[in-house]
Amino acid sequence: MVNVDILELFHENDFVKICAPMVRYSKLPFRILARKYGCDLCFTPMIMADSFVQSAKARSNEFTTCIDDKPLIVQFAANTVSDFVSAAELVAPYSDGVDLNCGCPQRWAMKDGYGAQLLTQPETIRDMVRQVRNRVSDRYSVSVKIRLLDEDRKTIELARSLEVAGASFLTLHARTVHERHSPIHADSLREVCQSLRVPLVANGDIKTLEGAKVLHANTGCKGMMAARGMLTNPAMFSGYKTTPLSCVQDWVNVSLDLGVIFNCFHHHLVFMLEHVLPKEGKRIFNTLKTKSAVLDFLHENYEISYVPGSSGLSAQSDVIVCDKSSDREENSVGSFFTSAVQKCEVQDEILDSLGGLYD
């Protein structure tokens, strides 16, 4: 696959409309849907770099793409330079850039030295960026997603150092590690943006296209990254206030043509129909247990039916996996976090808890 020049994307647009990396949710079928409705750039879910390097099973489970899935950034969680560099080299032929997660505030991630915990090790982050930049094409994007530090001055110092290390662009979630649902700090976004030469992407509280335009005007950030807003309305960057039924129809066709599992199929629809279904409809829909029950509900209430093959995609012929071998293959899954996510899936609040990680 030919790499897209991500910096050209920033130069060609007033601001780049971006689908955030979301655990379990920003996978290939959802990225295809988002691209149909105005999204310029998509991220994969966060992938554990050590697992990706050590295990062919992890690579096939955690990363899939297709020829039209571009431009694409692959986000990794890593706590060593060698893991991040090796993972980037493996995925480079299939993507347009790699991103280092330094923003995840979850306890399990920080306990093991991943995500926002890396903000306490700026030299390690810089070395990760430098080493990947030295090992892949200049055209290949290397970026970092960070959170605000306790002072804007410190955030600016970190961002500038990553710029010097060779980062193509940076994403700033405009809250500190300890802030969850408080309003974002737009003034801090503006200060950091004005201090950099590389593009800065804003993340946090972006729920509508109009909101993205306002934040762009107020901060100057060259990218607007949405997470929960995209889940509840994958067509938000096309200007829709709520998910249009055409988007629900497209999700049904794309996801079922690609053979997604029921939980993924249903969870996305729960988000997408959040502002569409009446209260009683939500109560019924959220308890459905099979694909056929979901399709019956959609047909009866909205005349939406699955049309096999209408997406033009096939799981057998169109999906591309990372089939490169690793020099560090150990037939191990490292700290493969699928099991941790599966434990969460039995909890009733899983949709809200995962959806709220990013916005």
How many Å apart are CA 357 and CA 46, to the nearest integer?
12
* Rounded Cα gap, residues 107 and 144, in angstroms: 20
4 versus 352: the higher-pLDDT residue is 4
Residue 240's CB: how many other CB atoms inside 10 A? 17
Asked whether residue 343 carries a pLDDT value surpassing 80, the answer given is: no
Identify the residue whose tokens are 């960070």: 146
d(C-alpha 249, C-alpha 89), whole Å: 37
Beta strands at 72-77 and 47-48: parallel, antiparallel or unpaired: parallel
* pLDDT tens-digit readout, 4-24: 999 999 999 999 999 999 988
Contact status, residue 223 vs residue 169, Cβ threshold 8 Å: yes
Q: Examine the residue annotation and report whether 104 is marked as an active-site residue of this protein.
A: yes
In percent, the amount of the chain with pLDDT more than 70 equals 91
Alpha-helical segments (H) within the chain: 6-12, 28-36, 49-54, 56-62, 81-91, 107-111, 122-135, 152-165, 186-194, 209-219, 228-232, 245-257, 262-272, 279-285, 291-302, 338-345, 350-355
Mean pLDDT of the chain: 91
Catalytic residue among 19, 39, 102, 104: 104
Residue 143's H or E segment, with its range, is strand 141-147
320-321 vs 64-65, strand pairing mode: antiparallel
* pLDDT average, residue stretch 317-341: 71
Model confidence over 187-196: pLDDT tens digits?
Answer: 999 999 999 9
Q: Which residue has the tokens 């979301």?
A: 22
